[in-house]
Each structure stands twice: as C-alpha cells, then as structure tokens.
Amino acid sequence: MLQRIDMVAMYVRDWPSAFVWYRDKLGFVAAYVEDDHRFAVLALSGGGPVLHLVGDTSREPGHRNRCVPNIAVDDFDATLADLAARGVAILDVVDDPDDGYRLARLVDLEGNELNLYTTVPRGTPPPP
C-alpha cells in the first residue's frame, strides 16, 4: 500500500551549477553528496520530502522536468522579496482567495519549474 512521498528527483544537465544554485539561491542544505556520481540529496530546514538532484548529461538543453515541486513558505511576500534579491526569477504570482492559496512560479538555471505557496483563509482579498 502507498504510504507517502519521501523525495522528488530533479534531473539537470549542469549538475555542479545546479547544486550551487539550489543551495545558494533557494537555501537547500546538502544532506548527502556524491560529487563523482553527480548526485545530491537536498533538504529544507522545515523537514518533509527531500529533493534528489541528479546529473544527467544526456538531457537535451532546454528540456525541463515534468514534475513540479510545490514548496510551502511561511512568509510569502518576504520570501519572494528575498529570492528576487538573490537573483531568482519569479515567473508569475497567483493569488486565489476563492481556493485559499497564493502561489509563485519560478525556474532554476535549466528552466525546471518550482512552485512556492502559502495558504490563506478563503475569501481573503489579495494584497495590493
């Protein structure tokens, strides 16, 4: 029987650059690294599933992963401001008060999407 999701794999062509980007731009912590195999287990301070960053030189440039990790944040606006200051491109922000969430889409160095989100009480007006 299925129990839980423990990790999400993100395949990247330029593993060394991606490793530094996830660590320095998003604040992931390396829980385990095999440089010679171009593999790392990356974790966030709040726990939960981990990200397996896997080097794959056979990936065609511009092809992105189809699985999009959704990462919860505690202070949505402050997190977006911090990431923008670190040079992370935010593609767009969705405020959906009817469904009770705010979501920001961003991409890594190879165009792989990640979503950051927070929940809000339903009916809360979007920020100005």
Provide the residue ranges of all domains of the chain, joining segments of one domain with +.
7-119
pLDDT score recorded for residue 37: 96
Q: Is the dihedral of CA 14, 67, 95, 122 positive or negative?
A: negative
pLDDT score recorded for residue 112: 92
Q: In this predicted model, what pLDDT tens digit does every residue of 58-82 receive, in sequence order?
A: 888 777 778 899 999 999 999 999 9
Sheet holding 113-119, edge to edge: 70-72, 113-119, 101-107, 90-96
E strands along the chain, which residues?
Answer: 7-12, 29-34, 39-43, 50-55, 70-72, 90-96, 101-107, 113-119
pLDDT score recorded for residue 27: 95
pLDDT score recorded for residue 44: 95
Looking at domain 7-119, its CATH superfamily turns out to be 2,3-Dihydroxybiphenyl 1,2-Dioxygenase, domain 1 (3.10.180.10)
pLDDT score recorded for residue 38: 96
pLDDT score recorded for residue 32: 96
Which amino acid belongs to residue 125? P
| Sites in the chain below the pLDDT cut of 50 | none
pLDDT score recorded for residue 60: 81
